[in-house]
Structure 1
Amino acid sequence: MKSMKPVIAVLITVAVAIVIIPALLVLPFSSDGTKGKLMENLTHKKQQEPSVADQLNESSVEVAVYRSQQQKIESFPLEKYVAGVVSAEMPADFEMEALKAQALTARTYIINQLSEKDTVGLPKGAHVTDTVLHQVFKSDAELKKLWGGDYTWKKEKIAKAVLATKDQILTYNGEPITATFFSTSNGFTENSEAYWKNSFPYLKSVESPWDKDSPKFYDRKIISIKDFEAKLGVKLSKGNEIGTIVERTPGKRVGAVKINGKQLTGKQIRENLELKSTDFTWERKGDQIIISTKGYGHGVGMSQYGANGMAQEGKNYRDIVTYYYQGVQISSSTAFLNTVVANK
C-alpha cells in the first residue's frame, strides 16, 4: 500500500492544477463576470487602428474633380484622390515600388495644381478634370466595374502604396516639380523642351532600357495617302519618298521632318496622325503609308514600364523617381498643404 501513495499524490496534484491554473489565468483579465480585460484591450487596440480606407479619407484638403462623363464636380480627400489616379494611370499588378513612385508623381502633380490654381480648361469650382488634360482619375464605383472580382486586392495594394508615401512630394529647389510621366519609352526619355516649350532641369533625357519588355514598345499603323496628306496639310511627291528627317531629339526621336518643302515637328506629326510616339519610321506601299513606332507617350519624365522594370531589379521608389527626375528631392508636403488651406 505504501507504494501507491506517491502515485495518488501525483494524481491529486495534477487534478488541482487542471482546475486552478485556468482560473488563475482568467482572473486577472476578468471584471464583474463579463468580458475579460484582455479581450477588451485587444478590441480597443483594433478600434484604434483605422482601416486602409479610413486612412485614405484622413485629409484636411479635398480635391474638386470635374467628372467629365457625368459633367459634375465631386470632391475627394487628397490621398483618396491620389489613390484614384494611381488606380487609373498604372496597372495594379505592377511592382509595389513602381506604384509608390506613381503615387509620388500623382501627389506632387495635384499639390502643384492646388498651389498654382491653374484653371485653364476647368469649370468654375474644379481643381482638375479626370482626363489626360490633368490626371486620369477613377472613383471606387468605377474601379469596381473595371476590376470586377479583382477589385479588393487591387484597391488594397494601391492604397498601401499611396499610404507608404503619404505626405511626400517631389521638389526641385524647394518647389514642387512638374511631375510628368508616360507609359513606355523608346529606350530613352525625352528633354521637356524637345516636346513642349518649357525647359526644366529635372526633365532631361535618360536611358530607359527596361521599356523594351513593355507590350506597348512597338506599334504599327497603316494610313491611306489621302488621309495622310489631309491630316498633315501636305502634298506628297510622286515615287516612294515621303519626307526627310531634318532633326533628331536628345531622346532619339523625330524632332522635325520636311515633306515636299513643308517642315513639321515630330510632335505635330504624332498628334495629327494619332501615333503612339514621336520615334517613328514610315514606308510607302501603293496608296498606303505604313508607320512603325517605338514607345508609347510623349516620353518626358518617368516611364511607367521603366519604373516597373527598375522595381523588378530591386530598386525602391526613391531610386526610381530620382533617376527619372534628375536632381529632385523627396520632401514633406505639409508646408504646401498648409498654404493651400490658408488660402481657401
Structure 2
Amino acid sequence: MKNPLIVLASVVVCSIAIPILTSVVSYDSIEVTPKEDKKTVVVTKQIVKKAEKKLTSYETINKKSPTINVYNHKLGKTQKMDIEEYLCGVLAGEMSSEFSLEALKAQAVAARTFVMYKENQGNSNKHKNAVVCTDFKHCQEYKSYDELKSKNGKNWMKNSYSKIQQAVKETKGHIITYNDEPILTLYFSTSSGKTENCEEVFSKAYPYLKSVESPYDKNYSPKYVSALQISNKDFVDKFKRSYGGVQVNENDLKNEIKILERSNGGSVDKIKIGNKEIKGTDVRSILNLNSANFDIKFNENYLDIVVKGYGHGVGMSQWGAEGMAKEGHKYYEILSHYYKGTQIKDLY
C-alpha cells in the first residue's frame, strides 16, 4: 500500500495543474478564432483602400493660371479670361450645382482639357482669334458671373456657385492626357447603360473614346427613359420632307420599318424606312428624340417610340459620373473609367 501522504500530495498537485492546463488550452483556442480574424482582415483592407484613395493627389505644380481668348457669341466679341474663372462659367452652364462634388470635379477637368485640346488644334478653330467660344453647339456652354447672379440670385451664388468654384479650385491645372497630349473630352447627359464608340457616332475613332459600361444612369438620371407618340401620317410626312425619294405605306408601317443594325452601345445604327436605309442619328434629329437608342412599338394608327439615354452617348456620361460619385468614386476614377487608357496631368 502506498504512503497516504504521497497519495494526498498527488491529488493536490493534480487538482491545481488540471485547471491551469485547461485555461491555457482554452485561451489558445479563443485567440485563434478564424471567423473573427477574417472579418478584421477584410475591414482593415477596406479602411486601407479608403485611406489610399484619400491620399491620392495630382496637385504637383503651383503656378499662376493662364489667360485665354474666348469668343463670346452673345456679345459678338472676343474676351480675355483667366481660364479658371472661365471654367466656373462653363461648369455652371454644363452641369447642375446639385451634383456631387466629385462629379463636378470630373466635369471641371473634362472642360479644362477641352480648352487645351482646342488650343493644340491651332488654326483649325472656326474662331481664329479665340481658343474657344461660349456657344455649346460648337464648344462649351458658358454663363458669366453677372448672368448667373441675375438669374439665380445672391443665395444661389453664395451656396451653389461657391461649390462650383471649389470643384474648379481643387482640380486647378489638371487635364486628361493620352500619350501626354490633351484629349478630346466629349461628354453628354445620360447613357442608356453603355456609352458609344466614337467612330459609330461621329465617324472618327479615338483610342480613349470607346464604349464602356455606365450602369448608374438608370438609377440616378431623370432622363434615362423618354417616349414619343406619333401618328402614322405625321411619321411618314416628316421623313418624306427630309428624304424626297422615300416611299413608305403609312397603313403598313410594321412591315415598312425595320431596325437593321445597332451600335455596341445599343443605339440604332441603321434603320430601313420604306425603300430608304437611314442612319439612327438622322432619325433622332428628324423626330427630335433624346438619343438614337430607341425601340418602336406599332399600333393601328400611331407609333410609340421609347428612347433610352440623352445625348450623343460618346465619352463621359454626366449622370453616370454623378452615380459613380454617389457610390464613393473620386473624380480621377470617374475620368479613368469613361476615358480609357488616359492619365491626369497637372499643367499649372
TM-score when scaled to structure 2? 0.75
Determine which of 119, 124, 130 is the counterpart of 1:126.
130
Find the structure with the greater CA-based Rg. 2
The answer to whether the Cα contact below 8 Å between 1:232 and 1:272 also exists between their aligned partners in 2 is: no
Determine which of 241, 258, 269 is the counterpart of 1:230.
241
C-alpha distance in structure 2 between counterparts of 1:163 and 1:204, whole Å: 29
Given the superposition, is the C-alpha separation of residues 221 and 68 from structure 1 closer, same or farther in structure 2, using an over 3 Å criterion?
Answer: farther
Letter in 2 for 1:231: S
C-alpha distance in structure 2 between counterparts of 1:61 and 1:232, whole Å: 48
Determine which of 215, 219, 228 is the counterpart of 2:226.
219
Q: What is residue 194 of structure 2 aligned with on the other side?
A: 188
Given the superposition, is the C-alpha separation of residues 73 and 221 from structure 1 closer, same or farther in structure 2, using an over 3 Å criterion?
Answer: farther
Instruction: State the shift of 1:130 in Å.
Output: 1.1
C-alpha distance in structure 2 between counterparts of 1:283 and 1:121, whole Å: 42
Determine which of 164, 182, 201 is the counterpart of 1:176.
182
The answer to whether the Cα contact below 8 Å between 2:248 and 2:275 also exists between their aligned partners in 1 is: no
The residue correspondences of 1:67-86 to structure 2 (distance < 5 A) are 67-86=72-91
C-alpha distance in structure 1 between counterparts of 2:330 and 2:123, whole Å: 32
Letter in 2 for 1:239: D
Q: Taking every aligned residue pair, what percent have the same amino acid on both sides?
A: 40
Indicate the SS of the match to 2:167.
Answer: helix
The answer to whether the Cα contact below 8 Å between 1:188 and 1:251 also exists between their aligned partners in 2 is: yes
The answer to whether the Cα contact below 8 Å between 2:267 and 2:292 also exists between their aligned partners in 1 is: yes
Letter in 1 for 2:132: V
Gaps of 5+ in 1: 1-57, 335-344
Determine which of 304, 321, 325 is the counterpart of 1:311.
325
Given the superposition, is the C-alpha separation of residues 243 and 121 from structure 1 closer, same or farther in structure 2, using an over 3 Å criterion?
Answer: farther
- Larger mean CA deviation between 136-145 and 309-318 belongs to 136-145
Superposed CA RMSD in Å reads 1.9
1:110-152 per-position Cα deviation (integer Å, ceiling 9, x unaligned) = 0111121254432x42222212211111110111133223122
C-alpha distance in structure 2 between counterparts of 1:331 and 1:126, whole Å: 24
Given the superposition, is the C-alpha separation of residues 282 and 330 from structure 1 closer, same or farther in structure 2, using an over 3 Å criterion?
Answer: same
Indicate the SS of the match to 2:227.
Answer: strand
C-alpha distance in structure 2 between counterparts of 1:273 and 1:101, whole Å: 32
C-alpha distance in structure 2 between counterparts of 1:180 and 1:327, whole Å: 15
Indicate the SS of the match to 1:151.
Answer: helix
Given the superposition, is the C-alpha separation of residues 171 and 281 from structure 1 closer, same or farther in structure 2, using an over 3 Å criterion?
Answer: same
Determine which of 311, 315, 322 is the counterpart of 1:301.
315
Q: What is residue 62 of structure 1 aligned with on the other side?
A: 67
Determine which of 246, 269, 273 is the counterpart of 1:259.
273
Q: What is residue 325 of structure 1 aligned with on the other side?
A: 339
Letter in 1 for 2:130: A
C-alpha distance in structure 2 between counterparts of 1:144 and 1:235, whole Å: 53
The answer to whether the Cα contact below 8 Å between 1:119 and 1:127 also exists between their aligned partners in 2 is: no
1:65-108 per-position Cα deviation (integer Å, ceiling 9, x unaligned) = 22222222222111111111111101101000000000110000
